Amino acid sequence: MVSPYNPAKVRENVREVVLSGVNFEDIVPNLFTGSKISGPLTLMQNVPKLCSDALEQKPMQDLLKEEFDLVLLSAFMAECFLSVVYQLKVPHIYVIPAGPWPPFTSISGNPSFPSYVVNKIFSFTLPMSFTERMINTMSEVAASAAINHLVRDK
């Protein structure tokens, strides 16, 4: 478990690494007082630096010297940790505690239907109006393009 937080308790057979200075909360503006769009955009712009800052820390480098059977990897903005999985040469499983949301549904091969499934970033209710469906669909297209360009570099 790689986290900016100290573990609440020791867990058997779980390796926990605490990193400093790589907390999303320090970068993302408060979504309750600001724009719902500015948070994800700010996060995506800062992910490359957060990634390199996390990977260069000594606890992460020490982790590469250990042996593991399996790596559980968050599907949310954790693409840079795929390099750790590759170095360790172990299988990995994506974990999405809040459920997949576009554009992360494509990671697991799940289809996404923005014309009638509301994106979690919006507060639209069902049935969505035509305008809400368009906004929902265009936001998914924009988010996928941004993540593929800024994070995954496709």
> Which residues span the domain enclosing 4?
1-95
Q: Give pLDDT tens digits for 14-23.
A: 888 888 888 7
Q: What confidence score (pLDDT) does residue 64 get?
A: 92
Rounded to two decimals, the pTM is 0.63
Q: Which of 100, 89, 106, 93 is nearest to 144 (CA)?
A: 106
Q: Do 87 and 102 fall into the same domain?
A: no
Kindly tell me if the per-residue pLDDT of 3 is higher than 90.
no
- Please work out, in degrees rounded to the nearest 5, the angle formed at the alpha carbon of residue 17 by the alpha carbons of 14 and 20: 155
Q: Give pLDDT tens digits for 53-77.
A: 999 999 999 999 999 999 988 877 7
CB count within 10 Å of CB 38 equals 13
Dihedral angle sign, alpha carbons of residues 34, 36, 37, 38: positive
Domain count, the chain: 2
Whether 128 and 118 have beta carbons less than 8 Å apart is answered as yes
Is 119 in a helix, a strand, or coil?
A: coil
Q: What confidence score (pLDDT) does residue 69 get?
A: 92
Q: Do 80 and 145 fall into the same domain?
A: no
Dihedral angle sign, alpha carbons of residues 107, 116, 40, 138: positive
Q: Do 1 and 15 fall into the same domain?
A: yes
Q: Do 34 and 55 fall into the same domain?
A: yes
